[in-house]
């Protein structure tokens, strides 16, 4: 049996900009993508702390070290620059693999920089 587990959780994420006229998705600083074990194109669940919107989209890579978190396309209607987000990604694995699995948790600080 496959189970679905939370693979990566990124907290204290702040939207830096948005662009409505775009085909969709969410731009994330590539250094954050790497630290959270995400891939460009990977599905993420986005929870907006400011307005309670929850939506699913996919990752687009932004320049490393830029601190950019950008809502593109329809997602731009679900948040504003300065809104706080929580980002989640999931994976599926067999029950026995789940026993030793550890979620990757990343917390961001000022300017969306990874806290050490």
List pLDDT tens digits, range 26-83. 999 999 999 999 999 999 999 999 999 999 999 999 999 999 999 999 999 999 999 9
For residues 94-101, average pLDDT? 94
Q: Taking a C-beta distance cutoff of 8 angstroms, is the pair 87, 27 a contact?
A: no
Specify if 16 maps to a domain: yes
Q: Annotated catalytic residue: which of 22, 31, 58, 66?
A: 58
CATH number, position 54 = 2.40.40.20
What pLDDT does 12 receive?
Answer: 98
Q: Annotated catalytic residue: which of 8, 25, 30, 89?
A: 25
| Residue tagged 């809104």 (tokens) | 83
Specify if 108 maps to a domain: no
d(CA 7, CA 44): 10
What pLDDT does 2 receive?
Answer: 95
Would you give the distance in Å from CA 64 to the centre of its chain? 15
Q: What is the CA radius of gyration of the chain?
A: 14
Specify if 58 maps to a domain: yes
What pLDDT does 110 receive?
Answer: 95
Q: Taking a C-beta distance cutoff of 8 angstroms, is the pair 90, 4 a contact?
A: yes
Which pair of tokens denotes residue 93? Answer: 């694995």
Active site residue 25: yes
């Amino acid at each position: 049996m496959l189970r679905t587990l939370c693979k990566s959780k990124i907290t204290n994420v702040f939207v830096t900009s948005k662009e409505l006229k775009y085909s969709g998705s969410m731009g994330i600083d590539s250094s954050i993508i790497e630290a959270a074990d995400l891939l460009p194109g990977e599905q993420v669940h986005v929870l907006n702390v400011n307005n309670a919107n929850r939506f699913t989209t996919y990752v687009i890579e932004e320049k490393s070290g830029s601190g950019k978190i950008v809502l593109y396309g329809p997602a731009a209607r679900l948040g504003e620059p300065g809104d706080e987000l929580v980002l989640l990604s999931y994976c599926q694995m067999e029950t026995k693999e789940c026993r030793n699995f550890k979620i990757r948790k990343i917390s961001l600080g000022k300017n969306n920089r990874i806290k050490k």
